Structure 1
Amino acid sequence: MNILEVLNMYNIKTNELDGFTTRREAFKKLTNFGKNIAMAAIPVGLASVGSNKAYAQGSVSVLDVLNFALLLEFLEAEFYTTGLHCDHLIPDGKDRAIFEVIEKHEVDHVEFLKAAITASGGTPIDKPEFDFTAGGKFKPFTKYAQFLALAQAFEDTGVRAYKGQAANLMSNGAVLTAALQIHSVEARHASEVRRLRGLKGWITQDERGAGMPMETQAVYNGEDNLIQGGVNVTTVTPIGVDGVTEAFDEPLTMAEVLTIGGLFIKP
């Protein structure tokens, strides 16, 4: 099952997704997307992943990737749930409606990944304890600007993290399809949060954006890459450097993501 088939199944029109950042109805339609892809993807061969060594590439198995993704989704889900329960943090209206939908997506992603890991014969990791102040560096639950900044950093990290693990999932189509579907949802989260902050919906070169703490720069390092498929894209298009880097998301390795996320995990 490909992404277009799943969108059609749940009556999500592609033309609505094109206008996603300006049409909240399209955003709302994705509220239960995580649950839906769980129903669509789990029966398609997932139960055999854990026992088949061919599904592992190098030292990173499909189960490793699923638990890695679960860690990220635990972090995001708890961040948004906590923020939504803080009185007077997120303004009522458009902002709150957006974060309510994002939070539901992340909770759905957690449940989907736990189910996928169990169906694969693995054991989901326990949710760690998080410190979203990063040892006192941030105050995301008392200062809305900092909540937005960390939301942007987490979503931009998630997009690059899922892309970075795609190669480790190539041998299992069901898992790869589900991961790419979650990647698409995370990308829309990132775009929406960036626009709430008054930024473009995409990353330009390796710029973290106005108002982003220096500690978040690791999320954006490497996004100024111009080489795609061994070709310097600026040599085959009149589009400038900014446009080329905006057109591609660069992958982050598992180690890079864990270093970023580790700032917010209690030892």
Structure 2
Amino acid sequence: MDFLNLFNEIQAADPEFADRISPRRAAIRNITSFGSKVAVAALPFAFSTLFKKAYGQTAIPSVTDVLNFALTAELTEACFYNTAIARNIVPAGTARDAITLIRNDENNHVRFLKDQLKTAISPENAARVTDPILVGNTNAFFDYSGGKSTAGTGPFSSVFTDYDVFLAVAQAFEDTGVRAYKGQAGFLKGNAVVLTAALDIHSVEARHASYLRRLRMLRPSGVPTTFRPWVTQDGTTASGISVAPSVVNLIYQNEANVSQGGKDLTTISGVTVKAATESFDEPLTKEQTLAILSNFVIK
């Protein structure tokens, strides 16, 4: 394999690749100085390590991989809201209007991703797309109780009978979506149309998450006084969800990070841990997102 040519092709597709692997750029520049067969033989391993550092995941997915992954997440959300509307869990008025709008957004995201994939849609997603769950009639593929089964006996078993639980789970899905799109955007840089759409979806998911927090804060049952429309640290602090920590903590893992660009923000005068964590959202990798979704996806 011509590794110099490979690097040039990567650099052409992703102009920031060299910056991603800094401070390893010097090693790349000096590849031609590798004189020994031992060093050349080590190049495949070296490039594997560089990719992991550059993109933070175990492999470089194709655009098709990313779109199928996004479709799985969007189907999970779309079916969730379709089911909620069909079962009348959302009170009439402003709240129902808002949830209906969010539902419509998620359905449109599904339609867009399905159209982009066409025949490249995965068999699993192809089955989910054609199932009646999309209009809220069945739970053939998802268990929104978080129990990973058709029994609906997970920690959120009252999700479609208790409006407060529904809002909490909805927020959890939207927060996951925000971080998941952030984690995958870099892999779409070679496709401007899809990248632009993904970034558009990313910002809409963030608006959904913020509005759902507002709906929760207006509820008589209330949420912790520290609860805000943005993410503060991780776990219960970030979510205001006190049940199912094993599920919730997966959603907000790494959000307690206070370092950006190698700088601990709390060393800046006047910057608290709370402010440092609220100022930046952290991405989720594909593996982290699938671990979250695995609590809700049956097949």
- Relative to the length of structure 2, the TM-score reads 0.66
What is the match of residue 112 of structure 2? 112
Q: CA deviation at 1:209?
A: 3.1
Does 2:244 correspond to 1:216?
no
Does 2:266 correspond to 1:234?
yes
Q: CA deviation at 1:166?
A: 1.4
CA deviation map 1:218-262 (0-9, x unaligned): 101110111112222233463321112111110011011001001
1:4-43 aligned at under 5 Å gives the runs none
CA deviation map 1:112-136 (0-9, x unaligned): 0111122xx6235325411112231
Q: CA deviation at 1:55?
A: 6.9
What is the match of residue 161 of structure 1? 180
What is the match of residue 133 of structure 1? 145
CA distance in 2, matches of 1:201, 1:86: 27
What is the match of residue 64 of structure 2? 63
CA distance in 2, matches of 1:237, 1:181: 35
Matched residue SS, 1:224? coil
Number of equivalenced pairs? 213
What is the match of residue 90 of structure 2? 90
Alignment check: 8 A CA contact 1:205 1:245 kept: yes
| 2:232 aligned partner, one-letter code | T
Q: CA deviation at 1:187?
A: 0.3
Q: CA deviation at 1:79?
A: 0.3
Pair member with larger Rg: 2
What is the match of residue 205 of structure 1? 233
What is the match of residue 49 of structure 1? none
Does 2:291 correspond to 1:263?
no
CA distance in 1, matches of 2:298, 2:107: 21
Does 2:247 correspond to 1:247?
no
Matched residue SS, 2:144? coil
Distance 1:131 1:55, change over 3 A: farther
Does 2:212 correspond to 1:193?
yes
What is the match of residue 122 of structure 1? 120
Alignment check: 8 A CA contact 1:208 1:216 kept: no
Unaligned runs of 5+ in 2: 1-8, 15-50, 52-58, 129-140, 148-152, 218-226
| 1:109 aligned partner, one-letter code | H
Identity %: 46
Alignment check: 8 A CA contact 2:211 2:229 kept: yes
Unaligned runs of 5+ in 1: 1-51
What is the match of residue 100 of structure 2? 100
Distance 1:245 1:76, change over 3 A: same
CA distance in 2, matches of 1:232, 1:176: 30
Q: Which has the higher contact order (CA 8 A, sep 6+)?
A: 1
- Relative to the length of structure 1, the TM-score reads 0.74
Matched residue SS, 2:253? coil
CA distance in 2, matches of 1:179, 1:262: 22
CA deviation map 1:121-160 (0-9, x unaligned): 6235325411112231222111111111110100000000
CA deviation map 1:78-120 (0-9, x unaligned): 0001001113x211112111101000000000000111122xx
Q: CA deviation at 1:173?
A: 2.2
